[in-house]
Structure 1
Amino acid sequence: MIHLLCVLLAIGAFAALALSMKRHQRDLAGRALGQRETGLARAIGWTLVALILAIDTAAFGFGYALVAWAGQLTMGAWLNVAWLCGKTAPSRKR
């Protein structure tokens, strides 16, 4: 269950980090965000990344935590990329 929780947090972390990038703001929020909102999204994203490492360290010890953390972040990033590709893919009209 810890792995599932951390992967879900990683999805949220990378979604927040994507939202902090101007190139993804229109796709995700429907508008360009202000500086304050962009900074807040970036802070939330990096805080979640650190939180995942803290959860893994508490659950597994530092050695295994780094391996689990890397895998969970990879899954979260991959799922966000797949989601963003689906949102920004040009629609085919017949």
Structure 2
Amino acid sequence: MGSIGPFQILIIALVILVLFGRGRISEMMGDFGKGVKSFRKGLNDEDNAAEEAKPSARIEGPSHEAKPAGETVESAPAATGDKTAS
């Protein structure tokens, strides 16, 4: 007595069809499908954002501009009172 058979499911489906009508049921199912599609898209967007946020394994060089080996960097005069540089 506790189980629902196929005949009872058919009667419930017919009552729902009479109450809501065929157009309204198809509209609700379309809205449900759009909601599921939007939900899946949101999950995929979060997964893509998480993958992009991962640090890369690339090794970065120094943050300053490196000079070629042949060029020298001119230094400012020392603060020890050396007045010959002026």
TM-score w.r.t. length of structure 2 = 0.35
Greater RCO (CA < 8 Å, at least 6 residues apart): 1
